[in-house]
Amino acid sequence: GAGVSQSPSNKVTEKGKDVELRCDPISGHTALYWYRQSLGQGLEFLIYFQGNSAPDKSGLPSDRFSAERTGGSVSTLTIQRTQQEDSAVYLCASSLQGGALMNTEAFFGQGTRLTVV
């Protein structure tokens, strides 16, 4: 597609349930990022994938959070046993290249608004 696509756009789930959020990056983009924006808060880094390298998971807030990227393209962020504090907008971004020395523009998806009730 022309841009970064995320699904679903909105998700309401009960506390304790697992959720999966999907990100389709721009075709050919090797770098993929997940960020989170809680209500009234700034954006928070979660995880970064670059090609076939091991992902940078240092931003994941707990072991209930995990993410994978299959075939270097689509990524899924999974939150297990959701808690109310997980309620946030989860944003995915991709860029042509990543890494400290690679400053290419990041393109963001529209985000998934997760509400845990």
Chain centre distance of CA 27: 16
Does position 43 bind another protein by CB under 8 A?
yes
Q: Which residue's CB is nearer to another protein, number 80 or number 87?
A: 87
Per CB under 8 A, which region of 12-20, 21-29, 69-77, 106-114 contacts another protein?
A: 106-114
Here's the x/- map for another protein, 57-76, by CB under 8 A: it reads as -xx-----------------
d(CA 91, CA 45): 10
Specify the amino acid at residue 55: P
Does position 48 bind another protein by CB under 8 A?
yes
Does position 56 bind another protein by CB under 8 A?
yes
d(CA 62, CA 8): 22
Output the DSSP codes for 24-70: EPPTT--EEEEEEE-TT--EEEEEEEETTSPPB-TT--STTEEEEEG
Candidates 23, 24, 33, 79: give the one binding another protein (CB under 8 A).
33
Q: What is the DSSP letter of 111?
A: -
Q: Count of residues binding another protein (CB under 8 A)?
A: 32
The contact set with another protein (CB under 8 A) reads 31, 33, 35, 37, 41-45, 48, 50, 56, 58-59, 89, 91, 93, 98-111, 113
